[in-house]
Amino acid sequence: MTAEPILSVRNLTTAFRVDGEWKPVVRNVSFDIRPGETLAIVGESGSGKSVTSLSIMRLLAKDASRIEGQVLLNGRDLLSLSEKEMRAVRGNEVSMIFQEPMTSLNPIFTIGRQISEVLTRHKGMSATDARAETIRMLEKVRIPNAASRFDEYPHQFSGGMRQRVMIAMALASRPKLLIADEPTTALDVTIQGQILDLIKTLQEEEGMSVLFITHDMGVVAEIADRTVVMFRGDAVESGATEQIFHRGQHPYTRALLSAVPRLGSMEGQAVPLRFPIVDTVTGITTEPQPSRTMLERDAPILKVENLVTRFPVRSGLFSRQTGSIHAVENVSFDLKQGETLALVGESGCGKSTTGRSVMRLIEPTSGDIQLDGQNVRELGSSQLQRMRKSIQMIFQDPFSSLNPRMSVGQAIAEPFLKHGMGNAVQAKQKTADLLERVGLSASMMSRYPHEFSGGQRQRIAIARALSLDPKVIVADESVSALDVSIKAQVCNLLLDLQEQLDLAFLFISHDMAVVERVSHRVAVMYLGEIVEIGPRAAVFENPQHPYTRKLMSAVPVPDPSRRGIRRGLMEDELKSPVRPMGYQPPRREYREVSAGHIVQVA
């Protein structure tokens, strides 16, 4: 508490020029970061958290932005420096890492060259010294065989490894302050765990300060000493992380925290539980209601047996098939009316391909799919179009899942009309009804998708999926792209709809905490196979497969008392499901742990 702050931000106000008018997007934000400290700025999209960091680095377009206040780095005001002086600060005294590791490295230079450039430019090292130092940095960020990977190109690295390279590059100049702008958001959860551990370790070793920008309260709890909560451009609350989590004063802070799904919060709960909703103005909390769906049904509505989906890998001059991606291998599950089965796993595990194969948006290679008494794989194209009435899909990205050229009313009414389920008047009635049902207003029918926020668009997509009165809904990461408070609302909406309409959900997600909250049963997928499936309580409270355990231990827990705990995750990467021609997948053995809880043993 006594040390002089490394960075002191005073009354930072950033405005953007929109149609000739200055609109403030960050208002009067002040905070300090002391040596060796981690400060998190947490907030949802549009809260101004990234703009704050870009303002500190003065990386915003000059003509379109105006930054006021003071940004003191070791007592020197960065806002008064010339552009040339500022260049000596960036990447030297202050370094930055970004969200998207796939695009923040230059693809045409080797990673070794990109890191040593920082050293030769800012530190005036010779090429040989820089090379040695670069290899040392790569070892420091735990890249295996660092020396041999010096001359490799970014495309030869996985996402997690690239983020390590980015960190190595940021640390190469030994900065006093590292600004990390959502550095783990684009990464899988086990990789995220590794990177968070790495940042913590490096901070101890180097004694630098970190400004960590994130939307994830779990990550905040793990990494930050102190936290600033931002809401629509204002810093509504700041203080020690424990204080924010346990004694948060501002209603928005409480709303944000109550909306965060916590892994393990469902212990002792038999059925899915809605999220509590806190009013961001008054702070009044609604008590979460458990879902009341009836599950005492015998016959499943959807039954999948030994589903296999492979994609050919072609290469060479005549694009001969040289292998296959075994996206889905021997997957079996069933789903009853009113039930939610979650498919969880990391990117590339085949969970989305499974959902699409079940709908035959992708042709499965083999297997048997029974939907509502019909054999899906044997349907002709016109029968297939009719089949789509019973199974519908909600996509991840609400910004690309609606046709921008079609009004919301048209989009919702279209499937209803195309399937001849009624005339135009009935379609309009149905559309109005559905819009009200998903929490929007019937008067919004003539508007276009761009006029809505992400959460509203996802509601529209849900309304559209419901227009055919489907029995099964495949929700492919349907809440993953949404802000945490919106995510809670949309999850509640899905539970409401399930109760009212007796829907069966195939809930595809990478987010263990959300899955725990909303599902009745869970299937964990790894490299195209289901490694563990069972009732939600059984899988979460008694995980058997090592991968399930690894996945669960990697989830950041929004509890600051666990800060400093290292997971000890292996520094490994996700394996690839690409196999050579003629590869025979091994026969798998399964073991029943308890009723309906089945684990792959070998």
Residue count, binding to another protein (CB under 8 A): 39
What are the φ and ψ backbone dihedral angles of 509, each rounded to 5 degrees? -160, 155
Please, what is the minimum distance in Å from the beta carbon of residue 428 to another protein? 9
Q: Is 321 in the site for another protein (CB under 8 A)?
A: no
Please, what is the minimum distance in Å from the beta carbon of residue 384 to another protein? 8
Whose Cβ is closer to another protein: residue 161's or residue 371's? 371
Whose Cβ is closer to another protein: residue 337's or residue 401's? 401
Q: Is 410 in the site for another protein (CB under 8 A)?
A: yes
The binder of another protein chosen from 114, 392, 485, 492 (CB under 8 A): 392
Please, what is the minimum distance in Å from the beta carbon of residue 328 to another protein? 17
Strands, E assignment, 52-160: 65-73, 76-77, 94-97
The binder of another protein chosen from 403, 542, 576, 594 (CB under 8 A): 403
CA pair distance 571, 190, nearest whole angstrom: 10
Q: Is 490 in the site for another protein (CB under 8 A)?
A: no
Q: Residue 337: CB partners within 8 Å, gap ≥ 6?
A: 297, 301, 471, 502, 503, 504
Q: Which of these segments, 228-236, 413-421, 513-521, 528-536, binds another protein (CB under 8 A)?
A: 413-421
The binder of another protein chosen from 112, 350, 367, 409 (CB under 8 A): 409
Q: Is 396 in the site for another protein (CB under 8 A)?
A: yes
CA pair distance 211, 461, nearest whole angstrom: 36
Whose Cβ is closer to another protein: residue 60's or residue 362's? 362
Whose Cβ is closer to another protein: residue 148's or residue 382's? 382
Whose Cβ is closer to another protein: residue 306's or residue 315's? 315
**DSSP per-residue letters across 306-367:** EEEEEEEEEETTTTEEEEEEEEEEEEEEEE-TT-EEEEE--TTSSHHHHHHHHTTSS--SEE
Please, what is the minimum distance in Å from the beta carbon of residue 447 to another protein? 9
> 552: how many CB neighbours lie within 10 A of its CB?
19
Q: Is 262 in the site for another protein (CB under 8 A)?
A: no
Helix (H, G, I), strand (E, B) or coil at 482: coil
Provide the mask over 342-361, with x wherever binding to another protein is found by CB under 8 A and - wherever it is not: -----------------x-x
Q: Is 418 in the site for another protein (CB under 8 A)?
A: yes
Q: Is 395 in the site for another protein (CB under 8 A)?
A: yes
Q: Which of these segments, 17-25, 75-83, 162-170, 394-402, binds another protein (CB under 8 A)?
A: 394-402
Q: Is 427 in the site for another protein (CB under 8 A)?
A: yes
SS3 letters for 145-196?
Answer: CHHHHCCCCHHHCCHHHHHHHHHHHHHCCCCCEEEEECCCCCCCHHHHHHHH
Residue 29 token pair: 């934000």
Q: Is 557 in the site for another protein (CB under 8 A)?
A: no
The binder of another protein chosen from 11, 145, 319, 385 (CB under 8 A): 385
Q: Output DSSP code: residue 566.
A: -
CA pair distance 560, 239, nearest whole angstrom: 13
Q: Which of these segments, 7-15, 19-27, 416-424, 513-521, binds another protein (CB under 8 A)?
A: 416-424
CA pair distance 482, 44, nearest whole angstrom: 9
Q: Which of residues 82-111 bind another protein (CB under 8 A)?
A: none
The binder of another protein chosen from 81, 86, 240, 406 (CB under 8 A): 406
Q: Which of residues 432-471 bind another protein (CB under 8 A)?
A: 446, 448, 450, 461, 464-465, 467-468
Whose Cβ is closer to another protein: residue 233's or residue 364's? 364
Whose Cβ is closer to another protein: residue 387's or residue 578's? 387
Neighbouring-strand partners of residue 504: 472
Q: Is 310 in the site for another protein (CB under 8 A)?
A: no
> 412: how many CB neighbours lie within 10 A of its CB?
29
CA pair distance 141, 146, nearest whole angstrom: 9
Q: Which of residues 228-257 bind another protein (CB under 8 A)?
A: none
Whose Cβ is closer to another protein: residue 313's or residue 384's? 384
Q: Is 423 in the site for another protein (CB under 8 A)?
A: yes
Whose Cβ is closer to another protein: residue 189's or residue 359's? 359
CA pair distance 398, 401, nearest whole angstrom: 5
For residue 310, give Cα distances in angstroms to 43, 122, 530: 40, 49, 16
CA pair distance 324, 409, nearest whole angstrom: 42
Whose Cβ is closer to another protein: residue 27's or residue 419's? 419
Q: Which of these segments, 50-58, 287-295, 405-413, 484-492, binds another protein (CB under 8 A)?
A: 405-413
CA pair distance 458, 473, nearest whole angstrom: 14
Q: Output DSSP code: residue 67.
A: E
Please, what is the minimum distance in Å from the beta carbon of residue 403 to another protein? 5
Check: CB of residue 332 under 8 Å from CB of residue 305. yes
Phi and psi based region of residue 34 (left: phi greater than 0; alpha: psi -120 to 50; beta: remaining):
beta
The binder of another protein chosen from 419, 437, 563, 579 (CB under 8 A): 419
- Please return the burial class of 281, using the count of CB atoms within 10 Å of its CB with bins 0-12, 13-18 and 19+: exposed
Whole-number CA gyration radius for the chain: 26
Please, what is the minimum distance in Å from the beta carbon of residue 67 to another protein? 29
CA pair distance 211, 150, nearest whole angstrom: 28
Q: Is 311 in the site for another protein (CB under 8 A)?
A: no
Q: Which residues bind another protein (CB under 8 A)?
A: 359, 361, 384-389, 392-393, 395-397, 400-407, 409-410, 414-415, 417-419, 423-424, 427, 446, 448, 450, 461, 464-465, 467-468
